[in-house]
Amino acid sequence: MAGLGNGKETKMKRYREIVGDGGSAVLAQVQEQRARVESRLARVRHVVAVASGKGGVGKSVVVANLAASLTQQGRRVGVLDGDLNGPAIARMLGVGHQTLRVERDHAAPAIGPLGIKVVSMALLLPRDDTPVIWEAPTQDDAYVWRGTMEASAAREFLADVEWGELDYLFIDLPPGAERLPHLAGLLAGRVRGAVVTIPSQVSRMIVAKAVVLARTAGIDMFGEVENMAGYVCPRCGAVGDLFPGDDAEAAATSLGLPSLGTIPFDPRIALCADRGDPFIAVYPDTAAAEAFAAVASRLDALLEACG
Amino acid sequence: MKFLCVRCDEPMAFEKAEGPEEGSLAVTFACARCGARFALLTNPWETQLVRTLGVRIGGRRVPPEPMELVRGTLVQQRDPEPAPADVRAAAPVWTAEASQRLERVPEFVRPMARQAIERYATEQGYREITVRVVDEARARYMP
C-alpha cells in the first residue's frame, strides 16, 4: 500500500509494474492495426517506396511510367499514392475520375490503363482543387495532430485496400523523408526503397538525407533513378545535357546505391501525365520510353534476385 | 497512459467513455478495491490526438470499418459510389424519429454510425430502422 499521511508511505507502483492499461488495450489495438497491414499485403511480393528528397524532380511521373513498363513486361502492379496532400498519381494514370469503392470489409483500388491498380487520396476528394482538411474540434495548432493523422491515413490505406496478387506495390512518397520511418515501422522487413533525383547537386544533397534516414529506419535502399538526365531534341532525337553534373553512376555511387538508370527529359512525358496516359504506351519508340523500360528491367532483376 | 489509485496502490480500470462533446472526451476510471472513481477530461487537442491514432479509449468491441478514420474525418469527400440497384432496394428505410436520433450523434462519426446501424438492421432482417432498432444496434456495438 502506498498510503498517504499515515507515516508508513512506500513507493507507489510505477508504469512498468502495472499490467495492461485499465481496459483500453491501446497497444493491442495498435498491434492489430499492424497485423491488418501485414495480412493485407501478404499477396504482394515486393513493396517499393519511392522517395525524392526534394519536390519537382518528377518522381510521380517516374513511378507511373515504371508501373506501366513493368506491367507491359508481364508484372502485376499497384501504386499507392503516399502523397496525401498533393496526390498526382491518380491523374497521371487516368483514374482521377474514379471513386474509391469501399466494400463491407475492404476498399477496392481503381483500375487504370494496362490494369495498374491505383489508390490515392484523389479518389476521395470531390474536386481537383479540394485540399485535404481533417475534421477536428479545432483547426488551431493543427501541427500537433496533423502529422499523426496523415500517418494514420497512410496506415489505413495499407490496411484496408485489397490489392490481390501483386508483383509490385509502389508507394509514391511525398517530397521529403519524414514518411520513411513511419513506413519502416508499419512494414518492417517488407518495404524496400528507391530514390529519384535529377542531375543537380542540390537534389542529390537532399536525397542523400532521405537515403540516410531510410537506412537508419531499417529500409533496404536498393537503387537510384536519375530523371531529366539530358534533353531529347524533338526534331533530330539527339540527347543533350539539361543540367551540368556528374554522371549518374558516380552520383548513385556517392549515395551508396546502384544506379537503376537515367531518364531523359521529354516534354511529351508531362503532356501524357496531364492526360492520364502512360507515356511509354503512347510513345513506345522514344528514347525516354526505352529508358523507362530499361530502368524497370533493372529494378525487376535486382528485386527478383533479392527474393 | 495508466492510472493508479494512490490510496490502494492499485491500477484503476476503465469504466466508460463519453463524448466527444465540444471537443472533450470524458473517460471514467475506477479503483476495484476502494471504489474511488475519477474522470479524465481531455482538451480538444488531446481529443484530436487520440482520434488520429485510430484507437478507441475503452477498447474496440467491433473491428473498424474499411477506411473508417479517413472517411469519418475528411471534411470534403466525393459521394460514395452508388450501390447496385438490388442492394439499394433491399436497404432498410429510416423512420423520421430514427433519423432525428441519428442527428444527435456527433457529425464526424455519423456516417460510421449510420452504416453500423444499417448493417445491424440488415443482419436482423429489419426493413425499417426505428428508434428501437437504433437502440438495439447501440447496445450491440456500444454496450
Question: Domain segments of chain A: what residues?
Answer: 44-306
Give the C-alpha separation, A132 to A99, whole Å.
16
We report the CATH number of the domain holding residue B110 as: 1.10.8.550
Locate the chain A residue with the closest alpha carbon to B42. Answer: A137
Of B12, B33, B59, at which residue does a domain stop?
B59
| pLDDT of A88 over the 50 cut | yes
**Statement to judge: residues B86 and B134 lie in one domain:** yes
Q: What pLDDT was estimated at residue B87?
A: 45
Which chain A residues have a beta carbon less than 8 Å from that of B44?
A: 136-138
φ, ψ for residue B14 (rounded to 5)?
-60, 135
User: How many structural domains compose chain B?
Assistant: 2
CB within 8 Å: A153 and B69: yes
Query: Which residues are CB-contacts of A287 (< 8 A; sequence separation ≥ 6)?
Result: A232, A237, A239, A264, A266
Do residues B106 and B142 share a domain?
yes
A31 inside 8 A of chain B by CB: no
Q: Does A3 touch chain B (CB under 8 A)?
A: yes
Residue A196: beta bridge partners? A225
In the predicted structure, residue A5 carries a pLDDT above the cut 50: yes
> Given A24, A33, A103, which is nearest B58 (Cβ)?
A24
Residue A115 gets which letter from DSSP?
A: G
How far is the C-alpha of A238 from the C-alpha of A294, rounded, in Å? Answer: 18
A107–B67 CB contact, under 8 Å: yes
CATH code, domain with B29 = 2.20.25
**Which residue did the predictor score with more confidence, A171 or A187?**
A171
Looking at the structure, do residues B50 and B83 belong to the same domain, yes or no?
Answer: no
Nearest C-alpha neighbor of A262 from the set A231, A283, A291: A291
Tell me whether residues A99 and B78 touch, CB distance under 8 A.
yes
Using CB atoms, which residue from A10, A18, A138 is nearest to B23? A138
* Residue A121 amino acid letter: M
pLDDT, position A205? 87
Same domain assignment for residues B43 and B82: no
Mean pLDDT (whole number) for A51-63: 91
Q: What is the pLDDT of residues A219-247, one digit of tens each?
A: 999 999 999 998 877 778 777 777 776 67
Backbone angles phi, psi at A109, to 5 degrees: -70, 155
User: How far apart, in whole angstroms, are the C-alpha atoms of residue A203 and residue B95?
Assistant: 60
What residues of B are in contact with residue A130 (Cβ under 8 Å)? Answer: 76
**ipTM over 0.90 threshold:** no
Residue numbers in B near A3 (CB within 8 A): 7, 9
Query: Does B22 score more than 80 pLDDT?
Result: yes
Residues B49 and B104 in one domain: no
Q: Return the residue of B nearest to A21 by Cα.
A: B2
Q: Would you tell me which CATH number, out of the four given (1.10.3430.10, 3.90.420.10, 3.40.50.300, 3.90.550.10), belongs to the domain A44-306?
A: 3.40.50.300
Nearest to B75 among A18, A135, A157 (CB): A135
User: Which range (A28-32, A125-129, B30-34) has the least confidence?
Assistant: A28-32
Clarify whether residues B53 and B90 are in a common domain: no
Looking at the fold, whether B14 and B47 belong to one and the same domain comes out as yes
Q: Does position B88 have pLDDT exceeding 70, yes or no? A: no
HSE-up of residue A164 (Cα within 13 Å, Cβ side): 11
What whole-number distance in Å separates Cα of residue A280 and Cα of residue A65? 6
Q: Which of A85, A100, A162 to mutate to test the interface with B (most CBs of B within 10 A)?
A: A100
* Statement to judge: residues B73 and B134 lie in one domain: yes
Q: Residues A184-196: pLDDT tens digits?
A: 888 888 999 999 9
Domain final residue, candidates B31, B59, B87: B59
If one compares B141 and A93, the residue with the highest pLDDT of the two is: A93
| Domain carrying residue B26 | 1-59
CA angle A235–A238–A242, rounded 5-degree value: 105
A23 CB neighbours in chain B (<8 A) are: 13-14, 58-59
Indicate if B29 and B96 belong to the same structural domain: no
Q: Is A1's pLDDT higher than 60?
A: no
Nearest to B20 among A12, A99, A137 (CB): A137
Tell me whether A6 touches chain B (CB under 8 Å).
no
Cβ atoms B19, A16 nearer than 8 A = no
Q: Three cell numbers at A90?
A: 491518380
Query: Per-residue pLDDT averaged across A194-206, rounded?
Result: 89
Residue that the C-alpha cell 493543427 belongs to: A142
What whole-number percentage of chain A has pLDDT above 70? 96
